[in-house]
Amino acid sequence: MAIRSILTAPDPRLKAVSTPVDAVDDGLRRLIDDMAESMYEADGIGLAAVQIGEPKRVIVMDLDQKSGQKNPRAFINPKILWASEELATFEEGCLSVPEIWDEVARPARIKAEYLDREGITQLLEADGLLATCLQHEMDHLQGVLFIDHLSKLKRSIALRKLQKAKRLRETG
């Protein structure tokens, strides 16, 4: 396993639309393991492959890691089959948008289908943080960041903050 560096906005590679996975094989499982390790290292709860520069439809999530035990879940080629009209608002952050948090409203409940790390089709009904996190990560597969859901003003403030932080890292 290897820790991979995570791309940060406004890196244009984050805008890529990820391609479907056609074989769940050992190579893909290695990618999933690298993603999980990189996510834990960065203290995140979810990561899409495109965030480490691999535009494939793969997501890793672990909502319980704060409890101390690691139980990463992989979602390959996820599809939303149904979304509630009712919305839920969570304060979101993103490893590719460091130091920025803001509220985003998304469908409160979803039904989704995906392949697990063995390549087996799984169905999922989710609400709460799981529903929000899955939708946030699935946005990454379309090249969409959570700040793209904010008002123009809030988004431009966030982008300015990001660019400033990036300049500081590069010069410092």
> Which residues in this chain contact Ni ion in the complex, by CB under 5 A?
94
**Residue 164 backbone zone (phi > 0: left; psi -120 to 50: alpha; other: beta):** alpha
List, in order, residues 6 or more apart from 123 with CB less than 8 Å away. Answer: 81, 111, 112, 113
The residue at minimum Cβ distance from Ni ion is 94
Q: CB nearer to Ni ion: give 47 or 108.
A: 47
Q: CA 158 → CA 24, 64, 103, 141, 150, distances in Å?
A: 37, 28, 13, 21, 10
Out of 37, 54, 92, 137, the active site residue is 137
Backbone angles phi, psi at 84, to 5 degrees: -70, 155
- Asked if residue 17 lies in contact with residue 49, where contact means CB atoms within 8 angstroms, the answer is no
Q: CB nearer to Ni ion: give 17 or 120.
A: 17
- Our answer to whether residue 137 is catalytic in this structure is yes
Element (H, E) at 30: helix 26-41
Q: CB nearer to Ni ion: give 93 or 119.
A: 93
Residue 148 is classified by DSSP as G
Q: CB nearer to Ni ion: give 31 or 147.
A: 147
Active site residues: 137
